[in-house]
Amino acid sequence: MRSWGRWRKRLVEALKHVVMGTITGLVFYPFVMLIVVSFKNTDQFMHNPWFVTFPLHFANYPAALELLVRYAANSVFVSGVSCLGTVFLAAFTAYVFARFEFVGRQFLFYLIISLMMVPGILGLVPMFMIVKRLGLLNTYWALILPYIAGGQVLGIFLLRTFFSAIPSDLFDSAEIDGAGDFRTFISVAMPLCKPMMATIAIISFHGTWNDLIWPLVVISDDKLKTITIGLLAFQSRFQSYGVAVTQYGPLFAGYVVAAIPLLALFLCASRYFVEGLTSGALKA
């Protein structure tokens, strides 16, 4: 009897792994296929699209990179500046709200937080008109400024809660030692909230890197396109070579290239991110 119970338990445990393994497999298969196809030439793709075929065509990558490097550089610049701007401004604003008493503090804070309830859809069309009137269409600023503005809201919310939990003695003692407001912020407050800032940085970078509709609306100059909309131009290029068949090899190599910066970012900071989420930064 007892050994049957043990076997049953093992069987159930194995079954869980089978189910989870299948799910993860299904999640990953398209990406595995993406990488497999990215090493094929057209002939290999036509005859055997699903499995690895030799020789591997590494040349697909330089070919794709050449066309994508400009878009990728644009995206790195736009997302990088937006991300840094968002994190610094949000941290400083949150610090001011958490540390100092002034008339209208609660009101101003709730005014900012109320923005979390307004989905972007109401503002899309007017925002386009504003950016157009400011003469920012087809500039990096048309992306960066709205990204910083929008990204701050969640950041201020999360960081203010964080700063409020820090005993104010810590900041007081810095000020008694003669540090000004900025100095206290930079030397005392910022080092304390590094994990939180990393989480906000990732959320911001990931969001702006993937943003699709806004760049499509404000950027039409090919030289300024971000990677998301650049990929569309890239794709149509491979379909309009006059060849009957799309060249999937270099095309998919390009898709892989587009994922590399995010991969790098996540490898650097995923520890904070997964911990932050699981330990309840977003707990309801």
87 binds another protein, rule: CB under 8 A = no
Does the footprint of another protein cover residue 113 (CB under 8 A)? no
Could you tell me if 237 and 219 are in contact, meaning their C-beta atoms sit under 8 angstroms apart? no
- Work out whether 4 is an interface residue with another protein (CB under 8 A): no
Q: C-beta of 240: minimal distance to another protein in Å?
A: 15
How far does the chain reach from its first CA to its final CA, in angstroms?
A: 44
Among 115, 137, 166, 186, binds another protein (CB under 8 A): 115
Q: Does 35 bind another protein (CB under 8 A)?
A: no
Figure out which of the listed residues 4, 102, 107, 110 binds another protein, where binding follows CB under 8 A. Answer: 102
Site for another protein in 188-227 (CB under 8 A): 206, 209-210, 212-213, 216-217, 227
Binders of another protein in range 128-147 (CB under 8 A): 128-130, 132, 145-146
* Binding map of another protein across residues 46-85, x = CB under 8 A, - = no contact: ---xx-----------------------------------
Q: Which of 117, 176, 178, 191 binds another protein (CB under 8 A)?
A: 117
Q: Is 121 in the site for another protein (CB under 8 A)?
A: yes
# binding residues, another protein (CB under 8 A): 82
Q: Closest distance between another protein and the C-beta of residue 248, in Å? A: 7
User: Taking CB under 8 A as the rule, does residue 250 contact another protein?
Assistant: no
**Is 67 within 8 Å of 237 (Cβ atoms)?**
yes
Should residue 5 be labelled a site residue for another protein when binding is judged by CB under 8 A? no
**CB under 8 A: which stretch of 26-34, 62-70, 161-169, 192-200 binds another protein?**
26-34
Shortest Cβ 94–another protein spacing (Å): 10
Q: In whole angstroms, how close is the CB of 55 to another protein at the nearest point?
A: 21
